[in-house]
Amino acid sequence: MKVLKFGGTSVGSVKSIRCLKKIVEKEAKHQPVVVVVSALGGITDKLIETSRLARRGDGRYRSEFDAMVMRHHRMIDTIITDPKKREDLFRTVDSLFEQLKSIYFGVYLIRDLSEKTQDAILSYGERLSSSIVAELIKNAKLFDAMSFIKTTRKNGSHVLDSELTGRLVREAFEEMPRISVVPGFIGRDNVTDEITNLGRGGSDYTAAIIAAALDAEVLEIWTDVDGFMTADPRVIPSAYTINELSYIEAMELCNFGAKVIYPPTIYPVCVKNIPIRVKNTFNSYHSGTIIKKSVENDSKPIKGISSINDTTLITVTGLSMVGVIGVNRRIFTALAENGISVFMVSQASSENSTSIGVKDSDADAAVNVLNNEFCKEIETGAMFPMHAESGLATIAIVGENMKHTPGIAGKLFGTLGRSGISVIACAQGASETNISFVVEKEFLRKSLNVLHDSFFLSEYNVLNLFICGVGTVGSKLIEQIKAQHDELKQNRRLKLNVVGIASSHNAIFNRDGIDLDNYRKQLKESETSNLAMLRNEILGMNIFNSVFVDCTASKDVASLYKVFIENNISVIAANKIAASSDYNSYISLKQTALARGVKFRFETNVGAGLPIIGTINDLRNSGDKILKIEAVLSGTLNFIFNELSDDVPFSETVRRAKEQGYSEPDPRIDLSGTDVVRKLVILTREAGYKIEKEDVEKRLFVPEEYFNGSINDFWERLPLLDSDFERRRKELENEGKRWRFVARMENGKTDVSLQAVGKEHPFYNLEGSNNIVMLTTERYKEYPMLIQGYGAGASVTAAGVFANIMSVANI
Ligand code: ADP
Ligand code: ASP
Ligand code: MG
């Protein structure tokens, strides 16, 4: 025979209950089946809420009650078509509701809700659902679980009286019907005969108890997911079904919060070596998960990750504990006697402190119990009063093969460390099937994500991108990401997930990835955003492997890098402001990034997509020294000097540079060398020298007074320079030379100036708005290294940003 348990999720709706019927009737063709059912999904919670309203004397309990009645009635109306059967069922169900109504009324009148009354109220959920299922399935016999599931009182809670229950179950099923239906969860006290239950989620346990008592061939847990998964699928969407688990692994995962099976369920079937199969009511063809004694041919060291929210860590500490035998015994005995369960213990070998993890709801009681237990020691000062830290979460990684695989703990803590998650306490039992650790609650989701990614999804890496700025570079970058997405996923095992996009006024976020086909529309429809909101949203998402990509030129946006890097978010900047700001800020960003294990990259700050900064870094990392840099770094200025001819005067070239989009909107920024100075400062710093913008000597070709005053004055006066330029240009032409605006660094000393270069010089033939950089190093001395190409343009800049993104992924 088989025991099939259907959870609330599988009896919650008309669709699910029809699936249940099909599954049961099909199984019953092959062998007798015992069907254990939960209350309709959500009803147990409703029963509790309603009783609390009644206890407070809140008359709204009536409408809540009516809603529950309605829900059951509607279900019956839809699924039971035979009028006679329907009438019988209505009679049964309504008489249960009559009783329940009276109990609620009593609670309401006397404003009292004892544990006994609460338990009686809770029993109606399963009594109602089992009556419906028994009527729905042909030839099914309904059993009263309360007549054979017996509990006993221990340390203030109800626990199973397993011996008595086992015997009573065997008696009840002496004659085994083809299909039996049993309400899960509920039972009676073995002494007082009061209605009790097996704890929330206890229907699983009822099913296991019956399976064990009757030596079932298998216990099947039918739920709403395809099986036991590598992590909670509501938190980790990429979690997947585990084919096989050992009892021990399942027990560890359930104890640490994997809600799919109620933890006590596993023990009774494990003792009898009865396998558990977890299956999906809505997808019965999926083979689900099998849980059994041992799992063969399984090389995965980690099977699953689970977690417990709401953890409080209580630290018992004091000098008297060192070497004293019996402190731990007293801690655990005192807690156990008060019905407080401890799910994690961590003690350092110095033995002067023990930390124990309990549920937040048990924290106050646990502190009191322990303070009482050790009151004498506390009074004499040998021990300190208990210290409780709440707002934490516990995570466990589980797998029996861990014990054969070195480096799991290293991988675990390394992954957490790189993501900026600090571990507050940790424990690994000598059985080595579980490593558990405590983190701040706000890091729970992120911890689960990074660990799941690193232990289970190593098939591909995920980078989560926040893109700020959707001007020419930002929008090109988004286009390129969209175009490369599939290719990178397939061939590079890299998934680029754009989780945030911000324009200057709006921002959109989606941790599952923004649809890049219509992000502009979404941006337009989104609420307006500002810098503080952007910052808070990004930090609040607290998402793993994330990168902030700045495609703006904004000083304000650059001011956010620090906090992002401090929170383990890599920063890729097309924006030059941060890298060229004061040296201390620049170096502190770089050092923080290094300390945090994240990247701060700004390759496109100089020469757009040309690999200049990366090359300088590579040279230095391999032990080379940058001695000299000579470069044409302004596309605008190069354009201007290439355009200059006998029929195009200087003022006209400046005008063309602006009209054709080469120059800044105010071309004085280019002509004053400001932009080139910034770039030279960045290169010099990357070459290993300490420098500020003010240190760069500027020898300009436009007189100082042109940079003061309004832009209109500037345009008006500019032609006054034409004749002088033309005269000098002619001289130059006769000498066979050309002008280049050159940025130079030699042993840390820097200047920018207009230089006349002859045909033999590598800068002579620099076309259009191109850039060139000549690096003289200890290794490239006689023949310096040259890097040359487009130094501006949205596509190449976006591609440079893209390359930086890839460097974060280490690809
Ligand atoms: P039922 O009503 O069938 O008893 P539960 O809600 O008690 O269902 O348990 C099933 C739910 O457990 C799933 O819907 C899933 O969201 C959650 N869950 C948490 N951790 C896991 C896990 N590791 N594997 C599968 N499901 C999990
Ligand atoms: N109905 C009970 C609960 O919600 C028992 C169960 O579903 O397993 O806790
Ligand atoms: Mg359940």
Residues 199-219 have pLDDT tens digits of 999 999 999 999 999 999 999
Give me the pLDDT at residue 313, please: 94
254 Cα–ligand 1 center, Å: 10
Q: Distance between CA atoms of 621 and 614, rounded to whole angstroms?
A: 10
pTM for this model (two decimals) = 0.68
State the catalytic residue, choosing from 2, 279, 599, 679.
Answer: 679
Query: What pLDDT is recorded for position 350?
Result: 64
Average pLDDT over residues 721-742: 94
Q: Is the CB of 399 under 6 A from ligand 2?
A: no
Is residue 114 one of the residues assigned to a domain? no
Same-domain check for residues 520 and 576: yes
Q: Per-residue pLDDT tens for 154-178? A: 888 899 999 999 999 999 999 999 9
Q: Is the pLDDT of residue 89 over 70?
A: yes
Cα 214 to Cα 169: distance, rounded to the nearest angstrom = 8
Protein residue whose Cα sits closest to atom 5 of ligand 2: 201
> Can you tell me the distance from the alpha carbon of 24 to that of 152, in angstroms, rounded to the nearest whole number?
32
Task: State whether 553 and 662 are in the same domain.
Answer: no
**Same domain, residue pair 524 and 635:** no
pLDDT at 162: 95
> Does residue 230 fall inside a structural domain?
no
The pLDDT of residue 570 is above 60: yes
Does residue 268 lie within any of the structural domains? no
Sign of CA dihedral 518, 474, 477, 789: positive
Query: Which ligand has an atom closest to residue 39 CA?
Result: 2
Quote the tokens at residue 419. Answer: 């993501």
Q: How many domains does the chain have?
A: 4
CA–CA distance, 477 with 608 (Å, rounded to integer): 13
716 in the same domain as 689: yes
The CATH number of whichever domain residue 585 belongs to comes to 3.40.50.720
> In this predicted model, what pLDDT tens digit does every residue of 450-462 receive, in sequence order?
899 888 865 667 8
Residue 223, ligand 1, Cβ within 6 A: yes
Report how far residue 62's alpha carbon sits from residue 43's, in angstroms, rounded to the nearest whole number. 15
Compute, in angstroms, the gap from residue 628 CA to the centroid of ligand 1.
64
Which atom in ligand 1 lies closest to the alpha carbon of residue 10?
Answer: 3
Same domain, 573 and 703: no
- Whole-number Å distance between alpha carbons of 319 and 336: 24
Q: What distance in angstroms lies between residue 283's CA and the mean position of ligand 1's atoms?
A: 15
Distance CA(58)–CA(66), nearest Å, equals 15
pLDDT tens, residue by residue, 116-137: 999 999 999 999 999 999 999 9
pLDDT tens column, 394-441: 999 999 888 878 888 888 998 898 888 999 989 887 667 899 999 999
CB of 657 within 8 A of CB of 666? no
Test site for ligand 2: of 36, 44, 130, most ligand atoms within 8 A of the Cβ: 44
Residue range 249-263: average pLDDT? 92
In this prediction, residue 324 has a pLDDT band, given cuts at 50, 70 and 90, of: low
Q: Confirm whether 679 is a catalytic residue.
A: yes
Predicted pLDDT at 457: 66
> What proportion of the chain, given as a percentage, has pLDDT over 70?
98
- CA 227 to ligand 3 center in whole angstroms: 12
Query: Between vectors from CA 357 to CA 354 and to CA 363, what angle results, nearest 5°?
Result: 105
Looking at 224, 247, 266, the residue that finishes a domain is 224
> What mean pLDDT do residues 768-778 have?
94
- Specify whether 509 is located in the same domain as 436: no
Is residue 257 in some structural domain?
A: no
Whether the Cβ atoms of residue 548 and residue 466 lie closer than 8 Å to each other: yes
Residue 293 has pLDDT above 80, yes or no: yes
The confidence band for 320, taking pLDDT boundaries of 50, 70 and 90, is low
**Measured distance CA(169)–CA(164) in Å, rounded:** 9
- Does any ligand 2 atom lie closer than 6 A to the CB of residue 275? no
Q: Which long-range contacts (CB under 8 A, 24 or more apart) does 711-717 make?
A: 711/666, 711/668, 714/668, 715/655
Is residue 586 located within the same domain as residue 641? Answer: no
**Mean per-residue pLDDT of the chain:** 93
Tell whether 810 is covered by a domain. no
**Distance from Cα 634 to the centre of ligand 2, integer Å:** 70
pLDDT of residue 153: 93
Q: Which atom of ligand 2 is nearest to the CA of 39?
A: 1
- In a domain, residue 96? The reply is no
* Short-list 563, 597, 596, 556, CA closest to 577: 556
Q: What's the pLDDT at 459?
A: 60
Q: In CATH, what number is assigned to the domain containing residue 331?
A: 3.30.2130.10
Q: Is residue 510 part of a domain?
A: yes
CB of 38 within 6 A of ligand 2: the answer is yes
- Note whether 33 and 2 are within 8 A (CB): yes
- Regarding the beta carbon of 187 and ligand 2, being less than 6 Å apart is answered no
At 787 the three-state DSSP class reads strand
Last residue in a domain, options 456, 479, 499: 456
* CB of 125 shorter than 6 A to ligand 2: yes
The ligand that comes nearest to the alpha carbon of residue 239 is: 1
pLDDT tens digits, one per residue of 607-659: 999 999 999 999 999 999 999 999 999 988 999 999 999 999 999 999 999 88
Q: Taking residues 345-357, report their average pLDDT.
A: 80
* 308 and 451 share one domain: yes
Q: Are residues 594 and 720 in the same domain?
A: no
For residue 509, count other CB atoms closer than 10 A to its CB: 18
pLDDT over 90 percentage in the chain: 78
Residue in 204, 219, 223, 261 to alter for ligand 1 test, most ligand atoms within 8 A of Cβ: 223
| 393: containing domain | 304-456
CA dihedral 221, 226, 232, 237 (to 10 degrees): -170
3-state secondary structure of 753: strand
Q: How much is the pLDDT for 664?
A: 77
Residues 218-229, mean pLDDT to the nearest whole number: 96
Mean pLDDT computed over 90-103 = 97
- Please identify every residue whose CB atom is under 5 Å from ligand 3, which is an ion: 7, 201
Based on the domain organization, do 399 and 385 belong to the same domain?
Answer: yes
SS3 of 600-613: the string is EECHHHCCCCCCCH
Per-residue pLDDT at 430:
62
313 and 401 share one domain? yes
625 found inside a domain:
yes
